[in-house]
């Protein structure tokens, strides 16, 4: 966190009042730019907006089969 606060761009994002959410990512023992075993951190800043909900199309009516007529066998 100390390094982020001493980086002008990171500090600006951290202190920006417009951002309402923060996610932080961490990966250890990664290969990165020729280094093996690097530790990587990331920040994501954002603001959620209300999701636009679209109505689902109406479901097609399922036609019911009429009940089958039962035939009785008559023995004579």
Q: Looking at residue 8, what is its pLDDT?
A: 93
Q: Looking at residue 20, what is its pLDDT?
A: 87
Q: Which residues pair with 44 in a beta bridge?
A: 23
Task: Say whether pLDDT at 53 is over 70.
Answer: no
Provide the number of structural domains found in the chain. 1
Question: Of 3-17, 22-36, 61-75, where does mean pLDDT reach its minimum?
Answer: 61-75
Q: What is the mean pLDDT of residues 38-55?
A: 82
Phi, psi of 9 (to 5 degrees): -65, -45
**CA 69 – CA 39 distance, rounded (Å):** 74
How much of the chain, in percent, has pLDDT values that exceed 90?
25
| 32 in a structural domain | yes
Q: Looking at residue 40, what is its pLDDT?
A: 92
| 33 in a structural domain | yes
| 52 in a structural domain | no
Task: Say whether pLDDT at 33 is over 70.
Answer: yes
- Contact (CB, 8 A) for 18 and 47: yes
| 56 in a structural domain | no
Structural domain including 33 reads 2-46
């Amino acid at each position: 966190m100390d390094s982020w606060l001493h980086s002008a761009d990171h500090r600006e994002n951290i202190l920006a009042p417009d951002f309402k959410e923060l996610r932080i990512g961490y990966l250890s023992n990664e290969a990165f730019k020729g280094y093996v075993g690097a530790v990587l951190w990331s920040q994501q800043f954002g603001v959620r907006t209300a999701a636009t909900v679209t109505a689902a199309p109406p479901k097609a009516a399922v036609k019911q089969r009429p009940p089958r007529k039962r035939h009785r066998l008559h023995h004579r």
